[in-house]
Amino acid sequence: MFESEEQRKRAELIVMTLAKLYVVLELSRATCPVCRNSSSHDAECPITMAWSLLDEDQQQNARTAIRAMALTIGRDDSFAGPVH
């Protein structure tokens, strides 16, 4: 499927990034910037497709990583002020 190991690694990185975006949108309840649905993604949304490629352990790891990052940002006062 992939011509090189580098292409495979790039594809894995894209899938993981989209899967983490799935978690961010899940936590924020924001409208998906790709498919424009707010409560769920449409069937062809790349974010949902990437999420579906992960097994349960990978999904849990993605959720844990994003939640940990959100908690870290919440404790950092530099993110609390208005954006200029």
28-50: pLDDT as tens digits: 877 888 888 766 777 788 888 88
- State residue 72's pLDDT score: 81
Segments of the chain scoring below 50 in pLDDT: 79, 81, 83-84
DSSP labels, 5-35: HHHHHHHHHHHHHHHHHHHHHHHH-PPPTTT
Q: How far apart are CA 81 and CA 50, in angstroms?
A: 33
Q: Are 47 and 22 in contact (CB under 8 A)?
A: yes
